[in-house]
Amino acid sequence: MTVKAVAAQLEWSSSKISRFETTKITVTSVDLKALLEVYGIDNAQHRERLITLARESRETPWWNQIDDRTPISGFKDFVGFEAEAIGIRTYEPLNIPGLLQTKEYARAIMVATWPDGADVEKALELRLERQRTTTLSDDPVDVTAIIDEAALRRPMGGEGRGSVMSDQVERLIELSEQTNVRILVLPFGSGPHPGMSGGFTILELPHPEDHGVVYVEGLTQGVLLGDEQSLERYRLVFDQVRQCALGSQASRDFLVDVRDEVEQG
């Protein structure tokens, strides 16, 4: 249906329809119901889902209320998808995943990798809020994280790196005891594997029509991939890397050994 045809049926201006379609304005529930009638959407469950989304779209999400100053374009788009996700699968070859980081470990990474002038404290606020709404919330998200041994062995935190790493590994041990969090360690002894090209995160979304998204982050830009071919490939690689990793209990034992080694200096 053309913009002109829809506008004529509803006795609206064409510009109003156009502004909806180009996201210049958000649609109200009343206007959406009128559009659904014109478009012939009569499935009650589908209508209710769309109306709920329209209602939510008029609320300012928490991540847009935080001026995080993250020097990676596209990152807030990822955070928006992450906030909706019902399942998160992440593989990290060099760092502890952001959702599992302590504040001091996160600060050490940001200081080491971000350009001078980046507002680290604002970014930390966003990272901690992401944790509160996912792994630490009353309705936590299901998280599976594969962490390479290299991320556990690399000391972070400058002069206080012993305590930073000890606290970080202790946090991983605590999180691994939660029913919604699975932390799997990929040891050096596993040898080469399909994930050696870099880390990535797969977000499983709640709506059946959504296939999910993959997030891949570079030095200055984060990219979201939503096509079925990319999702299939990344899911396959994640499963293959998981087969190379230690199981849940063996990974927890590994973390305990690493923590003890760090504390012993």
Pick 158 or 83 by higher pLDDT: 83
Per-position DSSP letters for the chain, written without gaps between them: --HHHHHHHHT--HHHHHHHHTTSSPPPHHHHHHHHHHHT---HHHHHHHHHHHHHHTS--GGGSS----SSBTHHHHHHHHHH-SEEEEEESSS--GGG--HHHHHHHHHHHSPTT--HHHHHHHHHHHHHHTTTSSSPPEEEEEEEHHHHHS--SGGGHHHHHHHHHHHHHHHHTSTTEEEEEE-GGG-S-TTTT--EEEEE-SSTT---EEEEE-SSBEEEE-SHHHHHHHHHHHHHHHHHS--HHHHHHHHHHHHHHHHT-
For the segment 227-261, what is each residue's pLDDT rounded down to a tens digit? 889 999 999 999 999 999 999 999 999 999 999 99
**pLDDT above 90: residue 74:** no
Region 68-80 average pLDDT? 83
Percent with pLDDT over 90 in the chain: 57
Residue 77: pLDDT band (50, 70, 90) is: confident
Rounded to two decimals, what is the model's pTM? Answer: 0.77
Residue 265: pLDDT band (50, 70, 90) is: confident
Region 65-94 average pLDDT? 86
Cα angle for residues 249, 251, 257 (degrees, 5° grid): 105
**pLDDT above 70: residue 60:** no
Residue 120's φ and ψ, nearest 5 degrees, are: -65, -40
**pLDDT above 70: residue 202:** yes
Q: At what angle do helices 75-84 and 120-133 cross, to 10 degrees?
A: 20
Region 7-30 average pLDDT? 80
